[in-house]
């Protein structure tokens, strides 16, 4: 039996945006809160999580990406402000928000939902909440971290030109997940 692959469809960030987010994480780390921070090379926007798939499902998944990419124009997203998830509950995730052409991102998600369902994937039950995960809390955030997040509510971190959809492999390691792009499919010009 072959090893299953943990995959998702995502949009990588430019090195400039990742660098700005990494600097913001450095500021947040000064609060000393119990957070597992995301390394800058893993920062991305998840469009559709697939979970564990068989290696023989990679080609059909890539075909779906090609079909969807033919229908979605290139667009721009802005990475700005800091947010905490879930709203209204004790926070578990620190993230940066995504603004700009989010209607195109939502259209991409909906197309992926429909097309992946035709090849046997279940629909995501949660609606798309575009964000870039920066860290996962391992305990209460503390007042200092909450204040630092509040001060960054209006801060901008840069623009992402969305030119392609990536099938990203997530491999677990002792030092956390390692992400690599298995396939990149260019969006409609």
Predicted confidence (pLDDT) at residue 26 exceeds the cutoff of 60 = yes
Q: How far is CA 64 from CA 7, 24, 71, 91, 174, in A?
A: 14, 36, 11, 34, 32
pTM equals 0.94
pLDDT at 71 over 80: yes
Cβ within 8 Å of residue 102, ≥6 positions away: 77, 130
Each residue's pLDDT tens digit, 33-47: 999 999 999 999 999
Q: What angle do CA 79, 51, 77 make, to 5 degrees?
A: 15
Q: What is the pLDDT of residues 119-150, one digit of tens each?
A: 999 999 988 999 999 999 999 999 999 999 99
Instruction: List the domains of the chain with CATH numbers.
Output: 5-186 (3.90.1140.10)
> Mean pLDDT, to the nearest integer, of 11-29?
97
Average pLDDT over residues 158-185: 94
Q: State yes or no: pLDDT of 1 exceeds 80.
A: no
The pLDDT value recorded for residue 11 is: 98
- Please report, for residues 76, 142, 144, 185, the alpha-carbon distance to residue 34 in angstroms, rounded to integers and kept in the order given: 33, 9, 12, 37
Distance of CA 184 to CAs 66, 83, 114, Å? 9, 29, 20
Model confidence at 188, pLDDT cuts 50, 70, 90, reads confident
């Amino acid at each position: 039996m072959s090893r299953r692959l943990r995959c998702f469809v995502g949009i990588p960030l430019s090195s400039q945006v990742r660098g700005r987010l990494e600097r913001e994480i450095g500021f947040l780390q000064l609060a000393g809160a119990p957070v597992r921070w995301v390394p800058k090379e893993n920062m991305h926007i998840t469009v559709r999580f697939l979970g564990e798939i068989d290696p023989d499902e990679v080609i059909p998944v890539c075909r779906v990406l090609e079909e969807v990419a033919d229908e979605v124009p290139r667009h721009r997203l802005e990475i700005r402000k800091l947010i905490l998830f879930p709203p209204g509950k004790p926070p578990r995730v620190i993230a940066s928000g995504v603004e700009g052409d989010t209607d195109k991102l939502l259209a991409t998600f909906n197309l992926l939902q429909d097309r992946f369902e035709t090849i046997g994937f279940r629909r995501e039950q949660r609606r798309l909440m575009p964000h870039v995960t920066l860290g996962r809390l391992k305990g209460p955030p503390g007042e200092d971290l909450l204040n630092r997040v509040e001060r960054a509510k209006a801060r901008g971190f840069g623009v992402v030109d969305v030119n392609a959809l990536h099938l990203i492999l997530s491999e677990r390691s002792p030092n956390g997940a390692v992400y690599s792009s298995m396939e990149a499919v260019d969006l409609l010009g």
